[in-house]
Amino acid sequence: MIARQHIDNRFATVAPDETSEMPTGAEILIQALVAEGVETIFGYPGGAVLHIYDELWRARERITHYLVRHEQGAVHMAEGYARSTGRVGVVLVTSGPGATNAVTGIANAYMDSTPLVVITGQVPKHLIGTDAFQEVDTVGITRPCVKHNYLVRDARDLAAVVREAFHLARSGRPGPVVIDIPKDVSAQRVNYSRLDHVSFPFSDKPASVDHRSAEHALHTILNAKRPVLYIGGGITNSGAGDSLLSFAEALSLPVSPTLMGLGGFPSSHQLCLGMLGMHGTYAANMAVAESDLLVALGVRFDDRVTGKLATFAPQAQVIHVDIDPANIGKNVVPTLALTGDVRQALDQFYALAQQQSVERLQESIKQRESWWEQIRGWQRSQPLRYAGSQNQIKPQTVIRELHRATKGEALITTDVGQHQMWVAQFYPFTRTRQLITSGGLGTMGFGLPAAIGAQLALRDQMVVAVVGDGGFQMTNQEIATAIQYGLPVKVLIMNNGYLGMVRQWQEMFYDRTYSEVDISVAPDFVKLAEAYGAAGFRAERPEELRDVIEAGLNHKGIAVMDIVVSKEENVFPIVPAGANARDMIVQ
């Protein structure tokens, strides 16, 4: 049982019936983490977690702790680690400011469905509620942005809590779980060593896709004349990339990923229409606007995708597959809802399609020929494009150059803003987990720590953090972490001296009133990199770009590439907030 009468530890850290032979809460915690297969923890120590850090030191052969420079960095690193591997990321921070600094990362993980277990220290039980030093109501503060959280009042509950926390973090729609541990609980010695006998008091709610609905869905798809597969982060989380590819190819269906769905389907594939949404391609947005069937796979109809809901895909029937029942019908009421795992659903669709006669499949593909002609027309008339320049480096060129230099194989992380959209548009992703970006929360400063987390999970992978000069300055202290652990991440700063996306909106929708977006007073990023012990490179002129990117990527250690790009470049196309595909501004 999780709920248990708690022992009053006001006057003693050792309960009278328990001796020093027995494990402490901290020991139980570490054992439980080892039992979950945890090898990596990102964290930052402090008073309330001293017992845990003491124990962690003893367990350092089994669990490697990465000491960050700010707790937000710890959570983003854990996110990068989790999103590059599919494993649960683990964070350990202290009470009060340690916990509040972690909140941005926790909220980010919640929005982007990333499995994390975040362990926070808390003041001793008898001080809770007294406004004690470094006390904050962590469970209260994090409640709206976690799948679940715990305040552990008895060390005997710890093993069960840890096991359930990992289960919750990775099951269903993944997300962050917080475990708040008062200092006296981590010191408490208890007669408890039965890790193997822990069972959850609460049942799991498994989701499997109903066969009849799958059949109905397939027939609707076969009969559709103008279908689009609208795919999101659920493809990555369920590992559905291959299943999607097989199914889309079998029926020759157009596919459009959201920002979170990029890599879920190869961007270079002829069936791929490019990204959907506010800064998506003209063809993708027009196809959805004209579609008669939208097959929504692992998505949540975010406002950055739909624009104005009332006129989103107005002629389309909607089949919505998602593992989170609350996503279904939240923003768009589907014609057919399938609650369950996206890969399972796609495999069922594919298997059912294989049972159809060859004539039936060919007939289905044939009736969409004119749809494909229409789509090709949109692609020809409005491809992604930008004006080149002789004397300024264009940010879009930077991404294309990065793509060329990395042969399209790098793992890319980003912050949020213009650089993020240019990455999404101009770096064709070909595999799931290749792009790790802050999608839902839109967190500046996410890219660098996320890259560090991904780099330590995948040592041989080229990992590049593409960031803006604004976001970089929010978490650049983590270069020290990368240096400390020899993680050779590459940082590419798209430096325009502005908070670019805000400036773009001010230009387009606020009469060019550039209110507080000039951040041209900044450190020399090359010198900053060197001050940390990393290598710094700078390109200011178009002819320098290729060499600087080559030099940065080929540098053995951490490299910071400061690319000075044209200052007032805008991201196009853009569907203004609350508008629709037809209102799209292409240039």
Subset of 492-551 contacting other proteins (CB under 8 A)? none
Tokens (6 digits) for 521: 């007073």
Task: Say whether residue 269 binds other proteins (CB under 8 A).
Answer: no
Least distance from other proteins to the Cβ atom of residue 302, Å: 15
Pick between residue 150 and residue 532 the one whose CB is nearest to other proteins: 150
Q: Which stretch binds other proteins (CB under 8 A): 72-80, 334-342, 385-393, 454-462?
A: 334-342
Residue 337, interface with other proteins (CB under 8 A)?
yes
Q: Which of 147, 170, 394, 403 binds other proteins (CB under 8 A)?
A: 147
Residues in region 448-467 near other proteins by CB under 8 A: none
Give the three-class secondary structure for 74.
helix
Q: Which residues pair with 64 in a beta bridge?
A: 40
Strands 227-231 vs 176-182: parallel, antiparallel or unpaired: unpaired
Q: Smallest gap, in angstroms, from Cβ of residue 116 to other proteins?
A: 15
For residues 241 and 234, what is the distance between their CA atoms, to the nearest angstrom?
10
Check: CB of residue 178 under 8 Å from CB of residue 142: yes
Does position 18 interact with other proteins (CB under 8 A)? The reply is no
Q: Which two tokens stand for residue 313?
A: 């895909």
151, 494, 499, 517: which one contacts other proteins (CB under 8 A)?
151
Least distance CB 49 / other proteins (angstroms): 21
CB 548 within 8 A of CB 561: yes
What is the spatial distance between Cα 575 and Cα 586, in angstroms, rounded to a whole number? 9
The answer to whether residue 585 forms part of the interface with other proteins (CB under 8 A) is no
Query: Which one, of 34, 91, 38, lies nearest residue 67 by Cα?
Result: 91
Q: Around 467, how many Cα atoms within 13 Å sit in the side-chain half-sphere?
A: 28
Q: Can you tell me which of 25, 334, 500, 552 binds other proteins, judged by CB under 8 A?
A: 334
Distance of closest approach, residue 321 Cβ to other proteins, in angstroms: 11
**Cβ 177 to other proteins, closest distance in Å?**
9
Nearer to other proteins, 139 or 462 (CB): 139
| Residue of 9, 339, 414, 434 that binds other proteins (CB under 8 A) | 339
On the CB side of 87, CA atoms within 13 Å amount to 18
Mind telling me the catalytic residues? 71, 133-134, 183, 501
**d(C-alpha 585, C-alpha 587), whole Å:** 6
330 binds other proteins (CB under 8 A): yes
Give the nearest distance from C-beta 216 to other proteins in angstroms: 9
Residues contacting other proteins: total by CB under 8 A:
25
Do the beta carbons of residue 571 and residue 298 sit within 8 Å? no
Tell me the closest approach of the beta carbon of residue 330 to other proteins, in angstroms: 6
CB atoms within 10 A of CB 191: 13
| Residue 34 DSSP SS3 | helix
- Told to check if 210 binds other proteins by CB under 8 A, we report yes
Binding mask 288-327 toward other proteins (x if CB under 8 A, else -) reads ------------------------------------xxx-
> Counting contacts by CB under 8 A, is residue 336 touching other proteins?
yes
Residue 479, exposed/middle/buried by CB under 10 A (0-12, 13-18, 19+)? buried
The H-or-E segment that residue 463 falls in is strand 463-468
The pattern of x and - marking residues 468 through 487 that bind other proteins according to CB under 8 A reads --------------------
Coil vs helix vs strand at 448? helix
- Please tell me whether residue 435 adopts helix, strand or coil conformation: strand
When the beta carbons of 204 and 518 are compared against other proteins, the nearer one is 204
Cβ closest to other proteins, residue 77 vs residue 321? 321
At 355 the three-state DSSP class reads: coil
Among 10, 58, 143, 527, binds other proteins (CB under 8 A): 143
Closer to other proteins by Cβ: residue 165 or 539: 165
Q: Which of 309, 333, 508, 586 binds other proteins (CB under 8 A)?
A: 333
Residue 343's nearest CA partner among 269, 207, 234 is 234
Residue 364 touches other proteins, criterion: CB under 8 A = no
Rule CB under 8 A: say whether 115 interacts with other proteins: no
259, 328, 463, 534: which one contacts other proteins (CB under 8 A)? 328
| Part in contact with other proteins (CB under 8 A); list of ranges 121-129, 144-152, 378-386, 417-425 | 144-152
Residue 505: φ, ψ to 5°? -65, -35
Q: Which of residues 166-205 bind other proteins (CB under 8 A)?
A: 168, 202
Task: Tell which phi-psi region holds residue 252, choosing left (phi > 0), alpha (psi between -120 and 50) or beta.
Answer: left
Selected binder of other proteins within 260, 338, 416, 545 (CB under 8 A):
338
Q: Which is nearer to other proteins, 4 or 58 (CB)?
A: 4
Please report how the helices 211-223 and 342-354 are oriented relative to each other, as an axis angle in degrees rounded to 10: 60
- Nearest to residue 78, comparing CAs of 127, 129, 44? 44
> Who's near 202: CB < 8 A, 6+ residues apart?
164
Handedness of CA 8, 11, 15, 16 (dihedral sign): negative
Supply the minimum distance, in Å, between the C-beta of residue 8 and other proteins.
15
Question: Cβ distance 536 to 465 under 8 Å?
Answer: no
List 130, 144, 358, 359, residue binding other proteins (CB under 8 A):
144
CB distance 288 to 230 below 8 Å: yes
Q: Which residues pair with 93 in a beta bridge?
A: 120
CB 421 within 8 A of CB 279: yes
CA within 13 Å, CB half, 274: 26
Q: Taking contact as CB under 8 A, which single stretch among the options 12-20, 55-63, 137-145, 306-314 is the one that binds other proteins?
A: 137-145
- Residue from the set 3, 358, 387, 521 that interacts with other proteins by CB under 8 A: 3
Could you list the residues that contact other proteins (CB under 8 A)?
2-3, 139-140, 143-144, 147-148, 151, 168, 202, 210, 213, 324-326, 328-330, 333-334, 336-339
